[in-house]
Structure 1
Amino acid sequence: MNTAPAFPATRTSFVNDDFFGHQHTATSALPDPQPMVENLARSVMEILAGCRDLEQISRWVTDDVYRNLLQRVHISRRARAVKKQPSVLPTFGLGRTIITHPVDGVIESVVIVHGKARTRSIAIRLEGMDGRWRATAIHVL
Protein backbone atom coordinates (compact mmCIF):
# COMPACT_ATOMS: atom_id res chain seq x y z
CA MET A 1 0.00 0.00 0.00
CA ASN A 2 1.43 3.44 -1.02
CA THR A 3 0.88 6.37 1.40
CA ALA A 4 1.17 10.06 0.52
CA PRO A 5 3.54 12.24 2.57
CA ALA A 6 1.97 14.27 5.40
CA PHE A 7 3.19 17.55 3.84
CA PRO A 8 3.65 18.39 0.19
CA ALA A 9 7.26 18.52 -1.01
CA THR A 10 6.91 22.21 -1.96
CA ARG A 11 6.05 23.40 1.54
CA THR A 12 8.11 26.45 2.49
CA SER A 13 9.89 26.77 5.77
CA PHE A 14 9.46 29.85 7.97
CA VAL A 15 12.74 29.53 9.83
CA ASN A 16 14.48 32.21 7.84
CA ASP A 17 15.59 35.54 9.25
CA ASP A 18 13.73 37.55 6.62
CA PHE A 19 10.51 36.75 8.42
CA PHE A 20 11.54 36.48 12.07
CA GLY A 21 14.69 38.63 12.19
CA HIS A 22 15.02 42.38 12.69
CA GLN A 23 12.80 44.37 10.35
CA HIS A 24 14.25 47.37 8.51
CA THR A 25 12.63 50.72 9.33
CA ALA A 26 12.70 53.72 6.98
CA THR A 27 14.29 56.98 8.11
CA SER A 28 10.99 58.82 7.71
CA ALA A 29 9.39 56.55 10.34
CA LEU A 30 12.13 57.25 12.92
CA PRO A 31 12.85 60.25 15.17
CA ASP A 32 15.68 62.75 14.64
CA PRO A 33 18.92 60.78 15.24
CA GLN A 34 21.06 63.68 16.55
CA PRO A 35 19.99 63.49 20.23
CA MET A 36 20.55 59.74 20.27
CA VAL A 37 23.98 60.03 18.63
CA GLU A 38 25.10 62.68 21.13
CA ASN A 39 23.70 60.77 24.12
CA LEU A 40 25.39 57.56 22.97
CA ALA A 41 28.72 59.38 22.57
CA ARG A 42 28.41 60.87 26.06
CA SER A 43 27.44 57.50 27.52
CA VAL A 44 30.31 55.64 25.83
CA MET A 45 32.84 58.11 27.25
CA GLU A 46 31.40 57.62 30.76
CA ILE A 47 31.30 53.82 30.33
CA LEU A 48 34.96 53.68 29.31
CA ALA A 49 35.85 55.92 32.28
CA GLY A 50 34.13 53.41 34.59
CA CYS A 51 31.43 55.82 35.78
CA ARG A 52 28.48 54.29 33.95
CA ASP A 53 27.37 50.69 33.53
CA LEU A 54 27.40 49.25 30.01
CA GLU A 55 23.97 47.71 30.65
CA GLN A 56 22.44 51.18 30.50
CA ILE A 57 22.87 51.37 26.72
CA SER A 58 22.33 47.69 25.89
CA ARG A 59 18.88 48.40 24.48
CA TRP A 60 20.29 50.82 21.93
CA VAL A 61 23.21 48.77 20.59
CA THR A 62 23.51 45.47 18.73
CA ASP A 63 25.08 42.39 20.29
CA ASP A 64 28.34 42.90 18.38
CA VAL A 65 28.69 46.48 19.59
CA TYR A 66 27.92 45.39 23.14
CA ARG A 67 30.64 42.70 23.04
CA ASN A 68 33.21 45.11 21.61
CA LEU A 69 32.44 47.75 24.23
CA LEU A 70 32.57 45.10 26.96
CA GLN A 71 36.12 44.20 25.88
CA ARG A 72 37.13 47.87 25.99
CA VAL A 73 35.55 48.24 29.44
CA HIS A 74 37.64 45.33 30.75
CA ILE A 75 40.82 46.79 29.25
CA SER A 76 40.07 50.22 30.75
CA ARG A 77 39.31 48.70 34.15
CA ARG A 78 42.59 46.74 34.16
CA ALA A 79 44.56 49.83 33.13
CA ARG A 80 43.01 51.85 35.99
CA ALA A 81 43.74 48.99 38.44
CA VAL A 82 47.41 48.80 37.40
CA LYS A 83 47.80 52.56 37.84
CA LYS A 84 45.70 52.45 41.04
CA GLN A 85 43.40 55.17 39.71
CA PRO A 86 39.77 55.36 40.79
CA SER A 87 36.90 55.77 38.35
CA VAL A 88 36.35 59.50 37.93
CA LEU A 89 33.53 61.13 36.02
CA PRO A 90 35.24 62.57 32.94
CA THR A 91 34.83 66.26 32.17
CA PHE A 92 34.37 66.87 28.50
CA GLY A 93 32.29 68.86 26.10
CA LEU A 94 30.64 67.72 22.94
CA GLY A 95 31.82 69.53 19.85
CA ARG A 96 30.46 69.30 16.36
CA THR A 97 28.20 66.42 15.35
CA ILE A 98 28.25 65.38 11.69
CA ILE A 99 25.45 63.14 10.41
CA THR A 100 25.21 61.60 6.95
CA HIS A 101 22.51 59.44 5.37
CA PRO A 102 24.20 56.87 3.07
CA VAL A 103 20.94 54.94 2.46
CA ASP A 104 17.39 54.99 3.77
CA GLY A 105 17.23 53.80 7.36
CA VAL A 106 20.97 54.21 7.99
CA ILE A 107 22.79 57.08 9.71
CA GLU A 108 26.56 57.45 9.91
CA SER A 109 27.82 60.08 12.31
CA VAL A 110 30.88 61.49 14.02
CA VAL A 111 30.80 63.31 17.35
CA ILE A 112 33.81 65.38 18.40
CA VAL A 113 34.51 65.15 22.15
CA HIS A 114 36.75 67.78 23.76
CA GLY A 115 38.38 66.64 27.00
CA LYS A 116 40.99 68.23 29.27
CA ALA A 117 43.97 66.35 27.86
CA ARG A 118 42.85 65.58 24.31
CA THR A 119 40.14 65.73 21.71
CA ARG A 120 38.60 62.48 20.50
CA SER A 121 36.06 61.52 17.90
CA ILE A 122 33.38 58.87 18.19
CA ALA A 123 32.02 57.34 15.00
CA ILE A 124 28.53 55.85 15.32
CA ARG A 125 26.43 54.01 12.74
CA LEU A 126 22.71 53.81 13.46
CA GLU A 127 20.30 51.58 11.58
CA GLY A 128 16.53 51.62 11.78
CA MET A 129 15.43 48.28 13.20
CA ASP A 130 12.02 47.32 14.50
CA GLY A 131 10.79 50.93 14.63
CA ARG A 132 13.77 52.45 16.47
CA TRP A 133 17.41 53.42 15.97
CA ARG A 134 20.04 50.87 17.02
CA ALA A 135 23.80 51.41 16.98
CA THR A 136 25.43 48.78 14.76
CA ALA A 137 28.94 50.25 15.08
CA ILE A 138 30.66 52.51 17.63
CA HIS A 139 34.32 53.41 17.32
CA VAL A 140 36.17 55.68 19.72
CA LEU A 141 39.16 57.24 18.00
Structure 2
Amino acid sequence: MTIIQPIKSETVSKQTKLYLVPSVDKEFGPEWFHPKFSPMPSALSDLPELHQWSESFVIKVLEVWSGRRALSQLSRNCHRSVLKKINEQMCSLTQRCQIRKFYFHQPIEGVVEVTVTLRVIDRVRSLILRFEGVDKRWICTELTLL
Protein backbone atom coordinates (compact mmCIF):
# COMPACT_ATOMS: atom_id res chain seq x y z
CA MET A 1 0.00 0.00 0.00
CA THR A 2 1.37 3.39 -1.02
CA ILE A 3 0.83 6.36 1.24
CA ILE A 4 0.57 9.72 -0.50
CA GLN A 5 1.75 12.61 1.60
CA PRO A 6 0.51 16.14 0.96
CA ILE A 7 2.90 18.71 -0.44
CA LYS A 8 4.08 21.19 2.14
CA SER A 9 3.04 24.77 1.43
CA GLU A 10 6.55 26.16 1.91
CA THR A 11 7.90 24.07 -0.97
CA VAL A 12 5.20 25.36 -3.30
CA SER A 13 5.58 29.00 -2.30
CA LYS A 14 9.34 29.08 -2.97
CA GLN A 15 9.99 30.41 -6.42
CA THR A 16 13.07 29.31 -8.24
CA LYS A 17 14.79 32.06 -10.12
CA LEU A 18 15.82 31.40 -13.68
CA TYR A 19 19.12 32.84 -14.76
CA LEU A 20 21.02 33.25 -17.99
CA VAL A 21 23.60 30.72 -19.05
CA PRO A 22 25.27 32.43 -22.02
CA SER A 23 24.88 30.48 -25.23
CA VAL A 24 27.99 29.22 -26.97
CA ASP A 25 28.62 30.41 -30.50
CA LYS A 26 27.99 27.50 -32.86
CA GLU A 27 30.84 28.56 -35.12
CA PHE A 28 33.40 27.76 -32.42
CA GLY A 29 34.18 24.26 -31.27
CA PRO A 30 34.30 23.12 -27.63
CA GLU A 31 38.02 23.91 -27.46
CA TRP A 32 37.17 27.64 -27.50
CA PHE A 33 34.88 27.35 -24.49
CA HIS A 34 36.86 27.59 -21.28
CA PRO A 35 35.22 28.52 -17.93
CA LYS A 36 37.93 31.06 -17.16
CA PHE A 37 37.36 32.99 -20.39
CA SER A 38 33.67 32.34 -21.04
CA PRO A 39 31.19 35.24 -21.15
CA MET A 40 29.66 36.29 -17.84
CA PRO A 41 25.95 37.18 -17.54
CA SER A 42 25.24 40.82 -16.75
CA ALA A 43 22.48 42.35 -14.68
CA LEU A 44 19.98 44.57 -16.50
CA SER A 45 21.31 47.60 -14.63
CA ASP A 46 24.76 47.02 -16.20
CA LEU A 47 23.45 46.77 -19.77
CA PRO A 48 22.68 49.57 -22.26
CA GLU A 49 19.06 50.73 -22.52
CA LEU A 50 17.39 48.01 -24.56
CA HIS A 51 14.89 49.91 -26.71
CA GLN A 52 17.37 52.42 -28.13
CA TRP A 53 20.12 49.83 -28.47
CA SER A 54 17.95 47.27 -30.29
CA GLU A 55 16.56 49.91 -32.65
CA SER A 56 20.09 50.99 -33.50
CA PHE A 57 21.14 47.36 -34.01
CA VAL A 58 18.23 46.63 -36.37
CA ILE A 59 19.00 49.77 -38.40
CA LYS A 60 22.60 48.59 -38.72
CA VAL A 61 21.47 45.15 -39.92
CA LEU A 62 19.20 46.77 -42.53
CA GLU A 63 22.07 49.00 -43.65
CA VAL A 64 24.28 45.93 -44.07
CA TRP A 65 21.59 44.24 -46.16
CA SER A 66 21.20 47.34 -48.33
CA GLY A 67 24.97 47.60 -48.86
CA ARG A 68 25.48 50.88 -46.99
CA ARG A 69 27.40 49.38 -44.04
CA ALA A 70 30.15 46.79 -43.70
CA LEU A 71 29.23 43.50 -42.04
CA SER A 72 32.31 43.72 -39.82
CA GLN A 73 30.75 46.66 -37.96
CA LEU A 74 28.28 44.24 -36.33
CA SER A 75 30.89 41.73 -35.19
CA ARG A 76 31.27 43.13 -31.67
CA ASN A 77 27.61 42.53 -30.87
CA CYS A 78 26.91 39.23 -32.65
CA HIS A 79 27.82 35.60 -32.54
CA ARG A 80 29.66 34.49 -35.65
CA SER A 81 26.73 32.26 -36.55
CA VAL A 82 24.49 35.37 -36.64
CA LEU A 83 27.01 37.22 -38.81
CA LYS A 84 26.95 34.26 -41.16
CA LYS A 85 23.13 34.42 -41.35
CA ILE A 86 23.20 38.16 -42.01
CA ASN A 87 25.72 37.62 -44.79
CA GLU A 88 23.66 34.80 -46.35
CA GLN A 89 20.48 36.89 -46.32
CA MET A 90 22.18 39.99 -47.71
CA CYS A 91 20.71 39.63 -51.21
CA SER A 92 17.23 38.70 -49.94
CA LEU A 93 16.45 42.25 -48.76
CA THR A 94 18.02 44.66 -51.23
CA GLN A 95 14.82 46.68 -51.63
CA ARG A 96 14.10 49.70 -49.53
CA CYS A 97 12.25 48.81 -46.36
CA GLN A 98 10.70 50.62 -43.42
CA ILE A 99 10.58 49.60 -39.79
CA ARG A 100 6.96 49.36 -38.68
CA LYS A 101 6.96 48.21 -35.06
CA PHE A 102 9.07 46.59 -32.35
CA TYR A 103 7.79 43.92 -29.97
CA PHE A 104 9.82 43.00 -26.88
CA HIS A 105 9.62 39.91 -24.70
CA GLN A 106 11.87 39.16 -21.73
CA PRO A 107 11.59 35.48 -20.76
CA ILE A 108 14.23 35.81 -18.03
CA GLU A 109 16.50 38.57 -16.78
CA GLY A 110 19.29 39.23 -19.26
CA VAL A 111 17.52 37.68 -22.26
CA VAL A 112 15.33 39.66 -24.62
CA GLU A 113 13.52 38.44 -27.71
CA VAL A 114 12.66 41.17 -30.20
CA THR A 115 10.31 40.92 -33.16
CA VAL A 116 10.45 43.72 -35.70
CA THR A 117 7.86 44.10 -38.43
CA LEU A 118 9.27 45.51 -41.66
CA ARG A 119 7.48 46.92 -44.67
CA VAL A 120 9.28 45.87 -47.85
CA ILE A 121 7.57 47.43 -50.88
CA ASP A 122 4.04 45.95 -50.55
CA ARG A 123 4.85 43.08 -48.15
CA VAL A 124 5.20 42.85 -44.40
CA ARG A 125 8.09 40.74 -43.12
CA SER A 126 9.27 39.91 -39.62
CA LEU A 127 12.79 40.05 -38.26
CA ILE A 128 13.22 38.00 -35.10
CA LEU A 129 16.22 38.57 -32.82
CA ARG A 130 17.41 37.22 -29.49
CA PHE A 131 19.75 39.28 -27.34
CA GLU A 132 21.65 38.07 -24.30
CA GLY A 133 23.25 40.41 -21.80
CA VAL A 134 26.82 39.28 -21.28
CA ASP A 135 29.99 41.13 -20.32
CA LYS A 136 27.98 44.36 -19.81
CA ARG A 137 26.74 44.45 -23.41
CA TRP A 138 23.98 42.99 -25.53
CA ILE A 139 24.95 40.14 -27.87
CA CYS A 140 22.71 38.98 -30.70
CA THR A 141 22.65 35.19 -30.47
CA GLU A 142 19.86 34.48 -32.96
CA LEU A 143 18.47 36.27 -36.01
CA THR A 144 15.78 35.11 -38.45
CA LEU A 145 14.10 36.95 -41.28
CA LEU A 146 10.65 35.63 -42.14
- TM-score over 0.5 for the pair: yes
Per-residue CA deviations over 1:94-117 (Å, capped at 9, x if unaligned) read 212111111111110101112323
Whether 1:93 aligns to 2:82 is no
Cα deviation digits, residues 30-55 of structure 1 (max 9, x gap): 12211222222222222223332211
Q: 1:112 pairs with 111, 117, 121, which one?
A: 117
Contact 1:108–1:124 (CA<8 Å) still a contact in 2? yes
Quickly say closer, same or farther: Cα 1:71–1:115, change in 2 above 3 A: closer
- Unpaired runs of 5+ residues, structure 1, are 1-14, 81-86
Alignment coverage as a number of residue pairs: 115
d(CA) in 2 for partners of 1:28 and 1:126?
15
Higher alpha-carbon deviation: 42-51 or 102-111: 42-51
Moved more, 57-66 or 41-50: 41-50
1:1-141 superposed matches below 5 A: 17-73=34-90, 76=91, 90-141=95-146
Q: In the alignment, residue 132 of structure 1 is paired with which amino acid?
A: R
Paired with 2:76 and 2:43, the residues of 1 have a C-alpha distance of 19
Off by >6 Å, runs of 4+ in structure 1: none
The whole-number CA distance in structure 2 between the counterparts of 1:121 and 1:63 is: 21
**Structure-2 residue corresponding to 1:83:** none
> Partners in 2 of 1:93 and 1:69 — Cα distance?
18
In structure 2, do the counterparts of structure 1 residues 16 and 119 end up closer, same or farther at CA, with 3 Å as the change threshold? closer
TM-score when scaled to structure 2?
0.68
Higher Rg: 1
Q: Matched residues, percent identical?
A: 27
Letter in 1 for 2:76: R
Q: Is the 8 A contact 2:66 2:96 kept in 1?
A: no
Q: Output the CA distance in 2 between the equivalents of 1:134 and 1:16.
A: 17
TM-score, normalisation: structure 1: 0.70
Q: Which amino acid aligns with 1:109?
A: V
Please, what is the CA RMSD of the aligned residues? Answer: 2.3
Deviation at 1:16, TM superposition (A): 6.5
| Cα distance in 1 for residues equivalent to 2:107 and 2:43 | 13
Would you say the 8 A contact 1:27–1:106 is kept in 2?
A: no
